[in-house]
Amino acid sequence: FYALYNALQDQQKILEKEASILSSIHDRCPGENATREAKVQFGASIDSFLHGVQQSVNKSQAKLEREAAIKAEFEQRHDRLVELQQKYANLVQAYKAECQAAERPEPE
């Protein structure tokens, strides 16, 4: 539940940031009557924004890769523990069979 909560919280932050960014772009967008300099400055700010977005994407990708590696490690550990549990169950079953065989009287 903690992982799901954290994932949903991250998604909420991303959506809020996206809405804020779109609102900011809309507010700063020069109108039709804006000077060429204002339009160039707006283009530069968009380029800067895109660079920031790319950094965020790279950071998120790195986090995803770390989480995938951790998940794979836990899956391997789980598989190994299931294997050990099966071996244990087989040994207990064999032990019980030996105990029952030892308790039976030998025919004379």
Tens-place pLDDT, residues 68-85: 999 999 999 999 999 999
pTM listed for this prediction: 0.58
Measured CA to CA, the distance from residue 57 to residue 91 in angstroms comes to 51
Q: What is the DSSP letter of 31?
A: -
Q: Give, in order, the Cα–Cα distances in Å from 88 to each of 15, 16, 54, 80, 91.
A: 49, 51, 51, 12, 5
Which is more confidently placed, 106 or 53?
53
Question: What mean pLDDT is predicted for residues 55-66?
Answer: 91
Burial of 90 (0-12, 13-18, 19+ CB in 10 A): exposed
SS3 breakdown of the chain: % helix, strand, coil, rounded to 5?
Answer: 90, 0, 10
Q: What percent of the chain has pLDDT over 90?
A: 41
